[in-house]
Every structure is written in C-alpha cells, then in structure tokens.
Amino acid sequence: MPSNKSVSEEPITQFVNCRILKDHQLQREDLWVREGKILNPEKLFFDEEGYADHQVDCESKILAPGFIDVQINGGYGVDFSQGCDVRGGVALVSKRLLEHGVTSFCPTLVTSPPHIYHKVLPEMEVHDGGAEGAGVLGVHLEGPFISREKRGAHPEHCLRSFQQGSLTDLLEVYGSLDNVSIVTLAPELPGSPTVIQELVKMGVTVSLGHSVADLSQAEQAVQQGATFITHLFNAMLPFHHRDPGIVGLLTSDQLPPNCTVFYGMIADGIHTNPAALRIAHRAHPSGLVLVTDAITAMGLPPGHHTLGQQHIQIDGLHAYVAGTNTLCGSIATMDMCVRHFRKASGCSVEAALEAASLHPAQLLGISQHKGTLDYGSDADFVLLDDSLHVKATYIGGEEVWRK
C-alpha cells in the first residue's frame, strides 16, 4: 500500500485563489510551499503522494515575488551612513520595509570618511529575512570614488581618486569588502579599469554613476565587467546626440555577447520626468531596476534630517541638501515606485512587478532563488490588489506582515 504521507515531515501550505506571476505572466494557479521553498506540485503528487496541510485563500489577489531594493540609504529616522547603532538601525528599517512588499535589500552607504566604513561595514552582515524583517543581500557602497562635478549630495571633502588603481585603494577606504554586494564608481577616474576587473572577480557588482564618463568610457567599463547604472539620468552627463554618455549604454552595440546592462530608476515622479522614464523603458525594458534611493526621512514628516555627512530638508515629496535645490535621494517607498512606474510608462502589471523583483535579482546573480516564483525558489512573495497596493508580505512562506 503506498503511503499518502509526503517524504518530508514538514507541513505544506497551498496558496489558492490567486493569480501568480510566473514566466512573465499572471497565471491562475496555486502556489505550494514547504520548508521556505516553492514546490513543484506534480512531483509532490506523483513522487510523494503528498497533500497540503494548510490552505491560504488569496481572495483573487496577485501573488508576486517579493520586492528587492538595491539602493536604499535608510528610512524611518535611520541613516545607514551615520555609524551609530548600525544593527539596531538596519533592524528597524528591515522591519518597516515589510509593509511595502520588500523582502530583501542592499543597505546603501553614501560617500563617507573611512572611519564610518570601518565601523559600519562589519555590522551589516548578510542574512535572510523573516518575521523580524527583510533580508540583507549585502551593502551598496555609493562612492567615494566618484566625479566631483556630478557628486550630487555627496560631500566633496570625502571624495577619493584611485592612487594605485587596485583593490588596495578600496580596502584603505572601506576596510573590508566582505559584506559588500555593489560598488558605484565613476569609470572615467584613472585606474578604474583594473579596479572594476578586481571587484568583478570578487563577485561584487560594479555600477557606473556620479560620473562625467562619455559613451566609450562607459562601454569600456562594461567590457571590464560593470553591469549596472546607478539612478539613470541622475548625477551623469545628460543625453547628447553626438555623445549620449552613460545613457547610451541602453542601446550600445559595443557590449560583450549576452551581456545585459541593468539600470536603476527612481520612479518617484520627482527624480525622472515620466517621458524620460518611458524613453528608458522602451529602449531597454529588460534592464530596468526600480530603486527607491530612500533616505532617513522616508516615513517621517517634513523638516530637517540627515544623509550621511549632509543636512537635508524635506519639502513635500522632495528631499534637498539643506539651503540648496540639489536633490538628495527620495522618500518614496518601493510599492509607490511600482505604481508610479506602471502608470507613467503604460507598461503591463507584470513588467512593473518584475522591475522590482526579477531584474534586481538578475543584476545580483541570485535569480536562481530570489525574484521569481519558480520551483525551488525561496518562498518570498507579496500579495497585492489590482491597483498594486500591498496586502500581505511573506518570507520563506511565512506571513510576516498583513495590512
């Protein structure tokens, strides 16, 4: 007599009455989860003769992969670049991000003095998410190896150039690259080609940003292994028809075979005009990665706050370096960005959701277990209504937040 008990003793949860985002389409299908992973129901039925221990009725809502934010400087009064109570600050932001469907993220440090990096980086350990908050995928270091002309809100006195053109320059400033996922640098800086190659060898994603690079310098950087553009259009030379600069990477024919250049967009309605968002999306839809670039003031009322070493002023949805009209990050949440991007670009629901999940996972090289609902993937997902408002967030198949 075959047993009707599954091979693993762990309980199985079946999510029913949902439209799941799979193979770039919303499909009416159930989702099966065991031990934090998405199960193949055919294998479950035929190989194990298993069954669901629990059912969750999703009430016809959309079930999509959890959002991944690869550029977020802080929020809710926490500034990752301040260097005080680092673990407590990361924990607070991690917990609050669940409300916005974010299941994992890259805490981002803006240009800072070396002692800040030496203090903060060892405290920002990579870990999975759970009931306590979204997971940390590694730190995004934005600067200090960037252009003075395009430094934006980054403090000029902390900027650095490559003295030796090797990892030694980075280790002197950062102390260590152990918990680092992404480094944003300006590819026109002398010595950057070797630095890019060495970072890529270590498995660090190199992003081009805060830069006055021309197109050929940007293409050379991609040939050396760079794969990302930090907040496209912002803090770089504007598109020009005779030299489109970094923006030209979106349609370049000088890239290595099978190379996808990804690019971050702050779709908050402030950093990028909707027409520019549409141009980028239509030129290179598979590379678009939604980022919040959120700062300490996300989730706080208007007034004075900090960003790294700078004082900032919040006015409505705008964040400025205090006393200037220089934008310095956003106060948008990821679900807001998904909704704005969909409305501004006219793209499909699927495309808007994948820009916040699949594409960032592909960028970081983790799409085999994050950013999709494929069999064997981590069961990190978000339940949304038709207008893409978050109703519940799940990590490892467990509900971690509900509206």
370 found inside a domain: no
Q: Are 298 and 381 contained in the same domain?
A: no
Is 25 exposed, middle or buried, given 0-12, 13-18 or 19+ CB atoms closer than 10 A?
Answer: exposed
CB 292 within 8 A of CB 266: yes
The percentage of residues in the chain with a pLDDT greater than 90, rounded to a whole number, is 85
249 lies in the same domain as 383: no
Mean residue pLDDT of the chain comes to 94
Dist. CA 267–CA 344, nearest whole Å: 9
- 2 part of a folded domain: no
Q: Does 142 appear as a known binding residue?
A: yes
Asked, for residue 387, whether it belongs to a domain, the answer is: yes
pLDDT at 5: 45
Whether residue 380 lies inside any domain: the answer is yes
Looking at the fold, whether 43 and 74 belong to one and the same domain comes out as no
Question: Is 327 annotated as belonging to a binding site?
Answer: yes
- Beta carbons within 8 Å of 379's beta carbon, 6+ residues apart: 31, 33, 36, 37, 38, 394, 395, 396, 397
Within-domain flag for 7: no
Same domain, 170 and 293: yes
CA distance 75 to 57: 33
Residue 131 structure tokens: 């009931």
Are residue 27 and residue 93 in the same domain, yes or no? no
The pLDDT, as a whole number, for residue 50 is 80
Residue 152 marked ligand-binding:
no
Q: Which CATH number do you get for residue 278? A: 3.20.20.140
Structural domain that includes position 326: 66-364
pTM for the model stands at: 0.96
pLDDT in tens, 329-384: 889 999 999 999 999 999 999 999 999 999 999 999 999 999 999 999 999 999 99
Please indicate if the annotation marks 210 as binding a ligand: yes
State the pLDDT at residue 161: 96
SS (H, E, C) 309-354: CEEEEEECCEEEECCCCCECCECCCHHHHHHHHHHHHCCCHHHHHH
Nearest residue to 32 (alpha-carbon basis) of 381, 375, 400: 375
Per-residue pLDDT tens over the stretch 15-48: 999 999 999 999 999 999 999 999 999 988 888 8
* Residue of 144 and 311 predicted with greater confidence: 144
Indicate if the pLDDT at residue 90 is higher than 80: yes
Q: What is the structure's pLDDT at 301? A: 79
- Residue 148 is labelled as binding a ligand: no
> Do 234 and 259 fall into the same domain?
yes
Q: Report residue 96 as tokens.
A: 């609050």
Say whether 213 sits in a helix, a strand or coil.
coil
Angle of CA points 266, 191, 196, to nearest 5°: 50
Catalytic residue (choose from 293, 335, 378, 380): 293
Whether 293 sits among the annotated catalytic residues: the reply is yes
- Tell me phi and psi for residue 364, to 5 degrees: -85, -5
Distance CA 77, CA 388 (A): 26
Sign of CA pseudo-dihedral 250, 253, 256, 257: positive
* Enclosing H/E stretch for 278: helix 274-283
pLDDT in tens, 175-225: 999 999 999 999 999 999 999 999 999 999 999 999 999 999 999 999 999
For residue 1, tell me if it sits in a domain. no
**Cα-based torsion angle of the residue sequence 96, 141, 152, 354 in order, rounded to the nearest 10 degrees:** -60
**151 and 187 fall within a common domain:** yes
pLDDT greater than 80 at residue 267 = yes
Judged by average pLDDT, the poorest of 68-72, 79-83, 95-99, 326-330 is 326-330
Confidence class of residue 311 from pLDDT cuts 50, 70 and 90?
Answer: confident
Cα angle 160, 331, 70 (rounded to 5 degrees) comes to 55
pLDDT value, residue 2: 41
Rounded-to-integer distance, Cα 377 and Cα 79, Å: 32
**Mean pLDDT (whole number) for 126-143:** 98
**Predicted local confidence at residue 250, as pLDDT:** 98
Torsion over CA of 97, 103, 104 and 107, rounded to 10 degrees? 0
Q: Kindly state whether residues 156 and 118 are assigned to the same domain.
A: yes
Report the domain count for the chain: 2
On whether both 143 and 227 belong to a single domain, the answer is: yes
Span 226-237, mean pLDDT?
96
Compare 49 and 106 and report the one with higher pLDDT. Answer: 106
**pLDDT value of position 3:** 43
Shared domain for 272 and 395, answered yes or no, is no
Q: 328: annotated binding-site residue?
A: yes
Average pLDDT of span 267-291: 96
Q: Does 369 carry a binding-site annotation?
A: no
CATH of the domain at 25: 2.30.40.10
CA dihedral 71, 80, 268, 305 (to 10 degrees): -160
In this predicted structure, what is the pLDDT of residue 322? Answer: 87
Residues 249 and 343 placed together within one structural domain of the fold = yes
Task: Check the annotation: does 319 bind a ligand.
Answer: no
Residue 3 lies in a domain: no
Q: Verify that 191 and 77 share a domain, yes or no.
A: yes
How many CB atoms sit inside 10 A of residue 221's CB? 26
> Six-digit token pair at 350?
């699927």
Instruction: Report pLDDT for 303.
Output: 85
Residue 234 lies in a domain: yes
Query: Which value, in Å, is the radius of gyration of the alpha carbons in the chain?
Result: 21
Give percent of the chain above pLDDT 70.
98
Predicted confidence band of residue 7 (pLDDT cuts 50, 70, 90) = low
Amino acid 45: pLDDT: 83
